[in-house]
Amino acid sequence: MQRFLPTFLLVLALIAAWQLLHLAIGAGALTSPWMTVTHLISMMGTVELWTNVGETAKAFAYAMSLALIGGIVLGVLLGVNKLAGAVAEPILLNLYAIPKVTLYPLVLLCFGLGLSSKVAFGVMHGLIPILLFTMNAIRQMRPVYMRTAGTLRLTPIQSLFHVLLPAILPEIVAGVRLGFALTLLGVLIGEMFASQRGLGYMAVNAMGLGDIPTIMAVALLLTVIAVTCNSLMLMLDKKLQHR
């Protein structure tokens, strides 16, 4: 616990800074930490919030599983085949750097309003980092592993499940950590533009109404969820690195 004390103090300092900023620019622009928490708690009593959370969670679950499976499968393929990996990497890096919001009219035209375009947005954001991490992990894997698999006459499927995937597991977890954050961002952005439900829609709706307390409450909820999930994955990451 001693280790986390400085971080805890820093978080307290950040909350104090938030309070000071609130006092400086007024409640109309930024609600205080305490007001935000009470507003969030009162919102938690409504059905509306939970349906929106459920919608976001559903879209996120679909998008995350697609990004995870697609990213790992494509990453393994591109990592094993050196030429394909070298050809694809700059293209993927470039796709990663594109502001994907610009493509939203195209996504809407292809998938329509609703769940499928939210999921498509999430996958677009989350797939590439997972893919790149997996591909680079396979490239940097010690060659002796694959040679051992060859000596043991493992079939490709066996070497995939017993050699390749266990060897690159730490990197996959690191990629998933990044992919998780980006998929969540993608789903939220998708909801902001292409949906009538979900937390992103709630935020953009509150934005239109100038309802700062709701925006801050949604932001707080998302921040807490995202940081908690991220910290859990960081812990898992550290554990795997120490193996």
Partner 1 sequence: MNIESVLRSALVAGFIGLIEALCRTHIIPQTVMIPPSQMFTHLLGLVSAGQYSKDILFSFTNIIVSAFVAIISGFFIGLLVHSMPRFRGALEPLLASYYAVPTFIFYPVFIVVFGVGHGSIIAIAVLLAIVAMITATLTGLDRIPHVLRKSAAVMRMSRLQTAWRIELPAALPYLFGGVKLAVAYSFIGVIASEFILSGSGIGYAIAFAYNNFESDNMYALMLLVLISVTLINAALNFFDRRLQARRQR
List contacts with partner 1 (CB under 8 A). 4, 6-7, 9-11, 25, 28-30, 83, 86-88, 90-91, 93-94, 96-106, 109-110, 178, 180-182, 184-185, 188-189, 192-193, 203-204, 206-207, 210, 212, 215-216, 218-219, 222-223, 226-227, 229-231, 234
* Among 230, 122, 134, CA closest to 175: 134
Nearer to partner 1, 165 or 233 (CB): 233
**Least CB distance to partner 1 at residue 243 (A):** 20
- Number of helices (H) and strands (E), helices first, in the chain? 11, 0
**Least CB distance to partner 1 at residue 64 (A):** 13
Nearer to partner 1, 62 or 121 (CB): 121
Nearer to partner 1, 20 or 29 (CB): 29
Nearer to partner 1, 62 or 180 (CB): 180
Which three-class secondary structure string do you get for 136-180?
HHHHCCCHHHHHHHHHCCCCHHHHHHHHHHHHHHHHHHHHHHHHH
Contact 34, 180 (CB under 8 A): no
Q: How many residues does the chain have?
A: 243
**Least CB distance to partner 1 at residue 16 (A):** 15
Nearer to partner 1, 84 or 167 (CB): 84
**Least CB distance to partner 1 at residue 207 (A):** 5
Q: What is the residue whose two structure tokens read 């998933």?
A: 176
Q: For residue 32, give the DSSP letter.
A: -
**Least CB distance to partner 1 at residue 40 (A):** 13
Count CB atoms within 10 A of the CB of residue 59. Answer: 31
| Burial classification of residue 70, based on how many CB atoms lie within 10 Å of its CB (0-12 exposed, 13-18 middle, 19 or more buried) | middle
**Least CB distance to partner 1 at residue 159 (A):** 26
Distance CA 201, CA 56 (A): 10
Q: What's the start-to-end Cα distance of the chain, in Å?
A: 22
- Token pair, residue 110, equals 């292809």
Nearer to partner 1, 29 or 44 (CB): 29
**Least CB distance to partner 1 at residue 35 (A):** 14
Nearer to partner 1, 88 or 137 (CB): 88
